[in-house]
Amino acid sequence: MENLAVGLAAFFQLMGCYFFFEQPEDRCSQAPDLASWIFLVATMCFLWDTSIYPRRFMHMDRFWRVLVEIVAAIFLAEVGTIIIWCGLERFLYSLTDLFLNLTHNGCQPSPLGYWLSGLITSLVALAVLWYVLEATDGMYYLMKFARELSSTTKDFWGMLRCYTNMNTRDRRRALKVCQLARQMPNRRSASRKCCQQDGESCD
């Protein structure tokens, strides 16, 4: 889908705006909201990788494609969060509450109910997110980003450690070299531009 369509669908979900389905007034359950946010991320990843616009309509103006995908993204996001996730969260919360009632003796509800329900729903939401990332190659790009970030961080800390171990004269020399290295591309582009204006070869 278009990034604009997915972004608008996520924005309306975060703002609590619903157009096709009515949001339950009593929430999906009394479990923490963390699992709902995780499932929303999984839904957005799924929508971002999904193509619903028919190929036979590709010859039409791009405006229609964006409009159709915005409406479809909002509709599918509401189906995922209100219909699918709410039903699943209610089931998990009821199952957790039933288990605690069977194991807990007393009239008062177990104090572990809130945290246990949050743990179970979060684990299920994480499982859904992992499945979506694996199905859409999102896990590959996520691992690639993590490796690049780790490599960049190591290089940065290595340079910073080397810089801190230098004396004052070496630091000045290093800064001077960096400034000259940054000025070289500008000089090359300026000389190439002059050659092009004079009609001479720039090689």
User: Tokens 């929303």 sit at which residue?
Assistant: 40
Q: What is the pLDDT of residues 84-123, one digit of tens each?
A: 999 899 899 888 888 887 776 656 666 677 888 889 999 9
Give the per-residue pLDDT at 106: 59
On the question of pLDDT at 197 being above 60, the answer is: no
Round to whole Å and give the CA distance between 29 and 86.
8
Instruction: Output phi, psi for 32, to 5 deg.
Output: -60, 160
Round to whole Å and give the CA distance between 129 and 131.
5
Highest mean pLDDT among 81-85, 149-153, 195-199: 81-85
Calculate the dihedral angle through the C-alpha atoms of 9, 15, 18, 24, rounding to the nearest 10 degrees.
130
Q: What is the pLDDT of residues 7-29, one digit of tens each?
A: 999 999 988 888 888 877 667 77
Round to whole Å and give the CA distance between 188 and 186.
5
- pTM confidence score: 0.69
Q: Where does the pLDDT of residue 42 fall: very low under 50, low under 70, confident under 90, or very high at 90 and above?
A: very high
The arithmetic mean of pLDDT across residues 164-169, rounded, is 71
Mean pLDDT of the residues in the chain: 80
On the question of pLDDT at 75 being above 90, the answer is: yes
User: What is the 3-state secondary structure of the chain?
Assistant: CCHHHHHHHHHHHHHCCCCCCCCCCCCCCCCCCHHHHHHHHHHHHHHHHCCCCCHHHCCCCHHHHHHHHHHHHHHHHHHHHHHHHHHHHHHHHHHHHHHHHHHCCCCCCCCCHHHHHHHHHHHHHHHHHHHHHHHCCHHHHHHHHHHHHHHHHHHHHHHHHHHHCCCHHHHHHHHHHHHHHHHHHHHHHHHHHHHHHHCCCCC
Round to whole Å and give the CA distance between 36 and 93.
13
Give the per-residue pLDDT at 191: 54
